Amino acid sequence: MKNPLIKRLPRELKSEAGKYIVLFLFITIMTGFVSGFLVASGSMSEAYDESFEKYNIEDGNFELVSEADEALIGTLEKEDVTIYENFYIERETDDIDSNLRIFKIREEVNKACVMEGELPDSADEIAVDRMYADNNKISVGDKISVEGTELTVSGLVAFSDYSALFSSQSDMMFDAMKFSVAAVTEEGFAELGENGLHFSYSWKYDNPPADDIQAKELSDDFLEVLSANAALTDYVPQYLNQAINFAGNDIGRDNMIFAVFLYVVMGIIAFIFAITTSNTITKEAAVIGTLRASGYTKGEILRHYLAMPVLVTLISAVVGNILGYTIFEDIGADMYYSSYSLPTYETLWNMDAFIKTTVIPVILMTVINFAILVNKLSLSPLKFIRRDLSKKQKKKAFKLNTKIGIMKRFRLRIIFQNMPNYITIVIGIFMANVILLFGTAFPPLFEKYQDDIVSNMICEYQYILKAPAETETDGAEKFCAGGLVTIEGRLKSEDVSLFGISAGSEYIDIDFGADSVYISDAYSEKFDVSEGDTITLKEEFTGREYSFTVEGTYDYPAGIAVFMSREMFSETFGYDAEYFNGYFSDNEITDIDEKLIAAKITEDDLTKTSRQMLLSMGSMMDLLSVFGVVMFMLIIYLLSKIIIEKNSQSISMTKILGYTNNEISGLYIMSTSIVVIGSSILTMPLVNAVMKLLCEVMLSQFPGWLPYYVPMTVFVKIAAAGIAAYAVIAWMQFRRVKKIPLNIALKNVE
């Protein structure tokens, strides 16, 4: 026989249409977004993995001081590798404030995926990175002037060995605004000249390594042979190449973050569903008692009240998945394409996404509601008929001080009587504020970091030379530049810039001790190093270690750096006393041959991290902000609605006693207002602490360091947004109070 309780489901849906529509839309949009993101990332991850074979991505690259001869190539290829010439030149663009790393069209290794247009076929054409072109509003057919040479953009491409546009492995973040990789024909490459020419080579193993462990062993062995036979200036095996690996690692990391986020939010929604269902059971207690006395089992009653939450979740998840493969997939793909130079992809069915966005949320909803309903329905039929749903003997309410005004005592009673609902509101506000802080904290953090870098710049220009060269530029000061790496431990190995400073420097005001060094404040904060500590660094290619005693810190947020005297630098690394390979200068140096300049570091180079972070994370931050506000409103709306409904009989009685709607709202809505406003403000320290911990864990995985900083104005904005959103909900609940009739107080009199 068909269960007649099923007929109640449509009526319940109709009577609570507002609540279920809101929950349906929220779960659908949230599921659709996460599903679309997971589908897009899964499809892109597959395309990324396939690109290693499809575009023949290198197993590593190295750079030499001069071009390798055939004898050297032959010696290296005896190590079961194939060497490919991969020369490039660095050029500044005239009309755009950016640098281009220009290669010849590569047809054997590190091939490019053409996204729009085509590869160059004449000397006056150039193909540039698609993301760089988007960021600088460049289209196919536009002209680019490269140090006086005008070139036509023939195509927008994704370079397989630059899926993230890192110009250097020591960079904390790539820069797709002011740096790009480009390709020209062989004739076009020759016409650009040899200024800034880098003798770079790529290699591929004849027998590819099975994993990163074997890749490290092979690269270490190859490095020994290479360093013994040639003068190296750079060496980057594939497994350490951020330009190749960063995007792939980030795609996988994002999947877990979004999945956990979905589960946490679904857990909160499941708990809200359970509270609303529990409230319904309280209202229908006499009916449930009668049904139980008539022969209905606990299981039948439980399944009836469990049906609606599970059905709404299931339908929402299915609809969300459909949207995830259509509308939201494009949004997810655009978010990746706005950050990385990834190749084209095909949408693939993603079973993992289906399980994470449909199966697990439905299970969560079922388990949480089942546990609460089993506890709620465990009473005897007689207790339900009597509407006595307490398992313990009722205790007298504890006394409140009579010196407290009657209205204040009334509000306190309301809060105590609805404590589970208010606790859920506090937790929900905390979660919503964390999401809102994620959406609003990063822009000021990056802007403050950028301002700190600019205000603490050593000079306007830092020049790193390939060999010592004199200049007549006013104010140019010699220094020694070098690099070591940290020893892997709590944090992975990271590049450290070394500065050998001239005595009496006009740019760096440090009084160096005889055999001690200063470290940048970024180094101190990230690696928890203090004055008096000893740090040990090593040479990346040879493994030789150096230990230094830290005398103090120096305000230099731009990177992980060590400062010492030029004398100590020369003595430590075996140079003569007059050695230098760099200049600090507030004026541009123009009288040194560009062929002798290895790098020119300006404000743009130092601020690329904050610039790219703001560019990449902008759309994500906006979405999180909107989602946080919506989640805030949803939780408070549903729970404050329950509180009003639960106290409808008391509200009706107060109306009979002559209280006006405004006075009643001052009791019931004001109680919720106190909790909401208090929670919005009082949870901020905990929200800030959680955010700080998350940021430190997240940012510690990147090279360099961004100190945590959130201005007070951000917290004020979040609290103001929450209070403004609650004002809308309070108005809606005031209308609900006005609609409660007086005759409710005369019903269900116990």
pLDDT digits (tens, 9 = 90+) for 577-621: 889 999 999 998 888 887 677 778 887 777 766 666 666 665 666
pLDDT in tens, 189-202: 998 888 878 999 99
Query: Same domain for 415 and 438?
Result: yes
Helix (H, G, I), strand (E, B) or coil at 382: helix
Calpha distance 585→564 (Å, rounded) = 19
Better-scored residue on pLDDT, 450 or 28: 28
Task: Name the percent of the chain lying above pLDDT 90.
Answer: 19
78-87, 223-232, 265-274: which range is least confident on average? 265-274
Residue 151 β-bridge partners: 144
Q: Which residues of 291-326 are buried (b: 16+ CB within 10 A; e: fewer)?
A: bbeeebeeeebbbbbbebbbebbbebbbbbbebbbe
Q: Which of 373, 395, 417 represents a domain boundary (last residue)? A: 395
Confidence of residue 338 (pLDDT cuts 50, 70, 90): confident
Mean pLDDT estimate for the chain: 83
CA distances from 148 to 92, 189, 548 (A): 10, 14, 47
Query: Same domain for 176 and 257?
Result: no
Task: Give the closest residue to 595 by CA, choosing from 198, 128, 129.
Answer: 198
Residue 491 lies in a domain: yes
Residue 44 lies in a domain: yes
Q: What are phi and psi of 378, to 5 degrees?
A: -80, -5
Cα-Cα-Cα-Cα dihedral sign, residues 207, 212, 217, 223 = positive
Residue 447 lies in a domain: yes
Q: Indicate whether 693 pLDDT > 60.
A: yes
Better-scored residue on pLDDT, 280 or 144: 144
The beta-strand segments (E) located in 531-591 are: 534-538, 545-554, 561-565, 582-585
Q: Which pLDDT belongs to residue 1?
A: 44
Calpha distance 456→124 (Å, rounded) = 42
Q: Which pLDDT belongs to residue 424?
A: 76
Quote the domain boundaries for residue 309: 1-53+231-395
- Residue linked to tokens 């008692």: 289
Query: Same domain for 498 and 606?
Result: no
Confidence of residue 59 (pLDDT cuts 50, 70, 90): very high
Query: Same domain for 273 and 304?
Result: yes
Helix (H, G, I), strand (E, B) or coil at 557: coil
Query: Same domain for 475 and 581?
Result: yes
- Which two three-digit tokens encode residue 506? 């006009």
Calpha distance 31→322 (Å, rounded) = 10
Q: Into how many domains does the chain fold?
A: 4
Query: Same domain for 659 and 736?
Result: yes
Residue 401 lies in a domain: no
Q: What are phi and psi of 293, to 5 degrees?
A: -70, -25
Query: Same domain for 483 and 421?
Result: no
Q: Indicate whether 85 pLDDT > 90.
A: yes
Q: Which of 543, 568, 600 represents a domain boundary (last residue)? A: 600
HEC string of 620-646? Answer: HHHHHHHHHHHHHHHHHHHHHHHHHHH
Query: Same domain for 240 and 379?
Result: yes
Mean per-residue pLDDT for 323-333?
83
Residue 595 lies in a domain: yes
Query: Same domain for 17 and 70?
Result: no
Query: Same domain for 744 and 638?
Result: yes
Residue 668 lies in a domain: yes
Calpha distance 123→345 (Å, rounded) = 31
Residue 218 lies in a domain: no
Q: Which pLDDT belongs to residue 200?
A: 93
Q: CB-based contacts of 294: which residues, under 8 Å, 6+ apart? A: none
Q: Which of 543, 578, 600 represents a domain boundary (last residue)? A: 600
Mean per-residue pLDDT for 534-553?
87
Query: Same domain for 416 and 309?
Result: no
pLDDT in tens, 471-510: 889 989 999 998 888 888 777 778 888 999 998 899 998 8
- Residue linked to tokens 């901020």: 684
Better-scored residue on pLDDT, 403 or 181: 181
Residue 662 lies in a domain: yes
Mean per-residue pLDDT for 628-650?
75
Query: Same domain for 513 and 500?
Result: yes
